[in-house]
Amino acid sequence: MNIKGVFSATQEAVRHMGDGGRIIMIGSVNSDLMAIAGGSVYALTKGAVAGFTRGLARDLGPRGITVNNVQPGPVDTDLNPSDGPFADVMKGINALHRYGQSDEIAGLVSYLASAEAGYITGASLKIDGGFAA
């Protein structure tokens, strides 16, 4: 689903998107670093999102559409709570020793959607508190 959903949603959005639009993928820092065993397939899918971002940036650049990939590290969510079974390990790896918050991720997404980010495309931007540092 990490690949098929991103591909299908993006394909449909591009059909309706005017020139100068923004596509912002939500990937994962795990495309660059898998710190625990058992995550190879997840890392594979998130690596595919990063590669798709780069290719699509080239394909849509002539239309002025930017394509970027936000790569969060551990974020406090219902599926990955900051007090969950993996939390101590994840916090120990992270340079800031904490989980990120959804509003921190939203701030980067908001910036990438803004006019000020009009020259950023094909980028995978980590927002991971130093998880992959």
pLDDT tens digits, residue range 95-125? 999 999 999 999 999 999 999 999 999 999 9
Q: Domain extents for the chain?
A: 4-10+22-127
Task: For residue range 22-32, list pLDDT tens digits in order.
Answer: 999 999 999 99
The rounded distance, in Å, linking the Cα atoms of 18 and 26 is 21
> Tokens 């790569």 appear where?
71
**pLDDT-derived band at 1, boundaries 50, 70, 90:** confident
Active-site choice (42, 99, 111, 119): 42
Verdict on whether the full-model pTM lies above 0.75: yes
Quickly name the fold that domain 4-10+22-127 has.
Rossmann fold (3.40.50)
96 CA to centre of own chain: 19
The pLDDT value given to residue 36: 85
Amino acid occupying residue 114: S
The pLDDT value given to residue 13: 96
The helix/strand/coil state of 123 is coil
99 flagged as catalytic: no
